[in-house]
Amino acid sequence: MSGKEKIEIDEDTEMPSRAWEGIRVHQQYIKGPHLDPSTPITEDKIRFVCISDTHGKIERSPLCMPPGDVLLHAGDFTMRGQMKEIEKFDSYLGYLPYKVKVVIAGNHDLTLDDDLSQLNMESFGISKSDIKTHLKSKGIKSVKQMLSHAVYLQDSSVSICGIKIYGSPWFCLSGHGDISGGDNNSGCVELLNTVQKRVKPKYHVFGHIHEGYGVTSDGYTVFINASICNKKYQATNPPIVFDYAIPEGHNKEELLYMDKDF
């Protein structure tokens, strides 16, 4: 993260579609790239398998998951973050063959949010004392620890074979994969600016806007909206895969020793 540019609040922050119109004329908007999941996996690249917005559906009717090294789940793995849902999701993760599974929370995964008030939880039918009782019975201290098969990121990062992955539950880009309700962008202009002007990642994997499923690029960053569920919460979209070259000095064997560190 060199040259930290300060991202100001955009004057059209309340109107992301209008903001995107202004941004779009100054940059490329490319569909793809798409990697065919049947492409052979090689030793010099990590095959990432991206999913999000599974909302408890893949556990019940497992999707055909493509082969890969690392799974990235970009949030919304439950409907309401109930203990049962998280347990099911974690055991599904345990059953998947990927060597490392990286997970972030989404706005649906309510109980992962430490700041959510009692009142908000109760409006979703979740009681904090039930959570406490549940955690106590499992001998663990936090809901995050229920994700025993995952590397859970929350405004934090992990290095996998020298590849840095940063995970944050804050969401919704403006302009890439955020068209909902017809033609309207529903993303956040400042997040797009942060990604394009400050962080400049090679890949940005996210979800939330189910209708925005797919891959686009601005010529530098590849934007992957990996929503498995469609607008009706049916798991219809296949996972999206991409390969990332392993940096010099690292190799795939490191994947086998990752679990011990978390």
Binding site for Mn ion (CB under 5 A): 53, 76, 106-107, 208
- The smaller minimum CB distance to Mn ion, of residues 17 and 107, is found at 107
SS3 labels along 14-54 = CCHHHHHHHHHCCCCCEECCCCCCCCCCCCCEEEEEEEECC
Q: Residue 229 Cβ, how far from Mn ion at the closest point, in Å? A: 6
- The smaller minimum CB distance to Mn ion, of residues 10 and 53, is found at 53
- The smaller minimum CB distance to Mn ion, of residues 160 and 179, is found at 179
Closest residue by Cα to residue 255 from 162, 167, 165: 162
Closest residue by Cα to residue 145 from 87, 201, 191: 87
Cβ atoms 224, 240 nearer than 8 A: yes
Give the phi and the psi of residue 242 in degrees, each rounded to 5: -150, 155
Cα-to-chain-centroid distance, residue 192: 15
- The smaller minimum CB distance to Mn ion, of residues 47 and 208, is found at 208
- The smaller minimum CB distance to Mn ion, of residues 53 and 218, is found at 53
Cβ atoms 209, 172 nearer than 8 A: yes
